[in-house]
Chain A
């Protein structure tokens, strides 16, 4: 097979396989009598009724704002802290037990605490989302900085490149593939925690809608919410990958190695 044909085949598969699976789902569920597994067509028509665009302003936008704020705060805090800890072995030593402990607490366990202390409003949700998203990015930034080839590190030092340039032109770029891997993980965690926090205490949002639908046995609505969350996650990830690819263009071609 020639290269061009193989590429064509790959693109074709990428498009057809998901469609094929959807068709299989639709056919398999079309005669479904099971209350909890309604036909796909029912789910889709409910989806159109619910989300285009009736509940966008009331549920989707608030959810996205919480998630964006939480994720944004986490990125800024985690990368700056990660660089600091990655560069200074002593700071890393001192912070290690605290970071390890806070990171290790399962965030839902903090929900009762957050509700008690912050209340049930938006700041509680942003806090929980940011809290969870920090750790994968922080961990990966530290790993990325400490994983920078020691020769490269020593070389820049020997050549007398100053601290700021070392940070911005060597450490950060060298760590960035790892940082992006962490951010990608955090993005999906942000979505998960958005849903959990909205399920536990909220009056709007997609998570609230899904749980509420389940409680009132509005099963097609519940499925349409799950579908929306899937689409949302897919879109967010797609946008993220585009950004990652642009930023890491130099890395892909130049050196796709075991930076860690």
Chain B
């Protein structure tokens, strides 16, 4: 029995020569960078569409000193934060309320399922009309799109609660409110966390989309301007920037998730299960 509780003993023996675990991410990143440096230079990738990565990176380095670059970044971040904040503030409470009542869920399901898949980009003309071409359009589109991600995740989570746990809590005389905070919410949190993480990405996507299509100031517009100006290095540098932005934002969410979900199997590595 004791050996089962110790996964370290179960783990297979390692062969002697291997890249150590901590080095693996660096090796793969380096590999990709080298590929994108060498392939355009030897002509496997067309040079006029793919500048070597070193040129893109040096352009990015120059941009870091420009005030206009930082202004675009902060414009994009502003749209992202407001969009996600509004979406989460509305979707989580609504999701919990709807999800914990069968009648409410059935009554709103049709409406939710109809409104949710309407691509917020289809509402771009309306957004321009009502909010103009600035920040407000961007926030409206981002909030609309990420709202459904969080709402659906919350609904899934609230409804996927182990019925045995709910029944147990009920038979132990937990009140509705106690059941909500002690059973329903904890088991829904992993879903909500995943939903928020995806919503954060969606909010960024819609912010950049609005900047591209409407022309609201921000990274999206700058990318479009770089392409139409024929400045491919700048275009790639800015695309890289949006990616880095996305990585940073996602990193924040993963960290927060790990803290909140320490108890959950997906966050435990190798521990014997409960």
A interface with B by C-beta (< 8 Å): 6, 9-11, 13-15, 17-18, 21, 36, 89-90, 93-98, 100-113, 115-117, 132, 135-136, 139-140, 143, 146-154, 157-158, 177, 181, 184-185, 187-189, 191-192, 194-196, 199-200, 207, 210-211, 214, 222, 225-226, 229-234, 236-238, 255-260
Contact = CB atoms under 8 A, between A and B. Distances in A.
A102 B29 CA distance: 12
B100 interface: no
User: 5 closest Cβ contacts across the A-B interface?
Assistant: A233-B117, A104-B246, A151-B273, A147-B266, A214-B125
B117 A237 contact: yes
Given A101-B247, A195-B119, A229-B119, A147 B265 contact: yes
Contact of A181 (B10, B49, B116, B156): B156
B265 A94 contact: no
B163 A256 contact: yes
Given A6-B102, A93-B24, A108-B220, 18 more contacts: A10-B102, A10-B107, A15-B110, A17-B110, A36-B126, A100-B251, A106-B209, A109-B220, A110-B239, A139-B194, A148-B265, A153-B273, A189-B202, A192-B120, A226-B118, A226-B122, A230-B114, A258-B264
Contacts of A94: 24-25, 27-28
Given A94-B27, A105-B242, A149-B265, A13 B117 contact: no
Interface in B20-36: 21, 24-25, 27-29, 32
B182 to A, nearest CB: 13
A211 B121 CA distance: 10
B273 A222 contact: no
5 contacts: A18-B110, A139-B194, A192-B120, A196-B213, A214-B125
Interface string B199-240: 001101101110011000001100110110000100110110
B271 interface: yes
Contacts of B264: 147, 258, 260
A106 B122 contact: no
B272 A150 contact: yes
A105 B239 contact: yes
Contact of A90 (B21, B117, B274): B21
A194 B117 CA distance: 12
Given A108-B209, A151-B272, A195 B162 contact: no
Contacts of B244: 101, 104
A244 B4 CA distance: 35
Nearest to A109: B242
Contacts of B159: 256
A258 B232 CA distance: 47
Given A104-B243, A147-B266, A200-B213, A258 B190 contact: yes
A192 B198 contact: no
**Which has the most chain A C-beta neighbours within 10 Å: B113, B117, B187?**
B117
A106 B205 contact: yes
A90 B24 contact: yes
Contacts of B10: 154, 157
B5 to A, nearest CB: 9
B37 to A, nearest CB: 16
Contacts of B226: 112
B110 to A, nearest CB: 4
A110 B271 CA distance: 40
B160 interface: yes
Contact of A236 (B117, B224, B265): B117
A111 B238 CA distance: 13
A60 to B, nearest CB: 14
Given A226-B118, A255-B162, A258-B187, A106 B246 contact: yes
B58 interface: no
Contacts of B145: 192
B149 interface: yes
Nearest to A253: B163
B272 to A, nearest CB: 6
B68 interface: no
B89 interface: no
Nearest to B263: A258
